[in-house]
A and B are shown apart, each in its own frame.
Chain A
């Protein structure tokens, strides 16, 4: 069999798998980036002991509990707290002062995964004296990730990176005061999540649930195809108040979306945009 034929067999199986997942579990990965899905599903095959994607499809349909394991491969990405410190320094210096003009500013962290970015935003708002009257929505499609985000417990070995990033992002307090260490883990202060609503929400299938003054959605759109990117950015457009802020990942841009007219550059080199 030639390489090309083998590739297309894989792609056919992959599309069928995504269709099966949608029909059976109502998760819609059909508009995800195929290049990334291909790698993730290939990794899942060996981990779940399947020779082919068709075998994996059979397994999740007939042993639905396997789907939870597959979902981890399809969705989870680990991010560091204050990843891209310059982005969060800009948030602190230029976005937070604007948020402070609202009586109860709301921030939506879309694709919050295991919560690193939620604690990042909460720490900045706390240091700027805004957390007590703010409300954060942290959403993701993966219930296991949301559970981790709620727990706020991370491997202690990750703390030096988090702390260095926090400093580089203009951190005002010693980072140690935000967590307690035990048995190789760091548990973050529960007060940081008092003002956080964690929720199951899909940018692919759900709609807008609240009006917010800022959205951060970083390194999530890169996993979507252009159709789904349009949908997600459309949700942000509809959720944001006039003059609200949108922050994206370093490699993401509104340049190729049709919604670019709904936004204006705020600090475009740092991926901050503003609802026009």
Chain B
């Protein structure tokens, strides 16, 4: 039984997801659970080493019902799963296109979860949902706070279940999320959100 997420009606138009250490397994549970008819784009930042080409797109393409792509600069944000490229920050513009930058790493990371969350919060406001998963840094916590400040939803993986609990704990401390739950329950919540419910 999934608890009701919302005290007020809203339509979520974008979901942003951040994950670090333990990301592959956690995303392997969440992303394949998304239905092929999801109307909401899912944008994912995973901390990956800058020098290696990211294999995540290939890895998840074969497992997901949705198209899994790496966004390039100025591309419109359409439904599907988007995974940030290594060594660039991924941001969202007012006209709902992607932007990228090579500005300094944030929280020692590029891409940084905070950078994505903060830029998306400004543009989508209440229509944004942010998900913080397993990880060993505090990246995502400031971003989750900004998402809440702009009226968006924050969902965090239950730290007791996370492979590394630092990142979910930091997000909980900073942002008082609407939902802290194990992956199975987050997956259900994202399925609901992706179909325009709640």
Contact = CB atoms under 8 A, between A and B. Distances in A.
Interface of A: 2-4, 7, 11, 33-36, 38-40, 77-79, 219, 221-223, 226, 229, 249-253, 255-256
A35 B99 contact: yes
20 contacts: A3-B121, A3-B150, A4-B125, A33-B91, A33-B93, A33-B99, A35-B92, A35-B99, A36-B99, A36-B101, A38-B122, A39-B101, A39-B119, A40-B103, A77-B102, A78-B104, A219-B102, A221-B73, A226-B74, A250-B87
Interface in B36-51: none
A108 to B, nearest CB: 20
A253 B94 contact: no
Interface in B67-107: 72-75, 85, 87-88, 91-94, 99-104
B151 interface: yes
B112 to A, nearest CB: 10
The listed residue with most B CB atoms (<10 A of its CB), out of A33, A40, A219, is A33
B131 to A, nearest CB: 19
Contacts of A3: 121, 125, 149-151
B115 interface: yes
Contacts of B92: 35
B119 A35 contact: yes
A223 B101 contact: yes
B178 to A, nearest CB: 16
Contact of B100 (A78, A251, A255): A251
B195 to A, nearest CB: 26
Contacts of A35: 91-94, 99, 101, 119
Given A4-B151, A250-B85, A253-B72, A222 B103 contact: no
Interface residues of B, number: 26
B103 A77 contact: yes
Contacts of A77: 101-103
B168 to A, nearest CB: 24
A256 B95 CA distance: 15
A251 B125 contact: no
Nearest to A79: B102
B91 A251 contact: no
B16 to A, nearest CB: 13
Contact of A256 (B74, B99, B100, B101): B74
A116 B92 CA distance: 28
A34 B94 CA distance: 8
A35 B93 CA distance: 6
Contacts of B103: 36, 39-40, 77
B73 A7 contact: no
Contacts of A40: 103
Interface string B115-132: 100110110010000000
Nearest to A8: B122
Contacts of B100: 222, 251
Contacts of B119: 35, 38-39
A229 B101 CA distance: 15
A268 to B, nearest CB: 12
B115 A222 contact: no
B134 to A, nearest CB: 26
Nearest to B114: A39
Contacts of B101: 33, 35-36, 39, 77, 222-223
Nearest to B76: A256
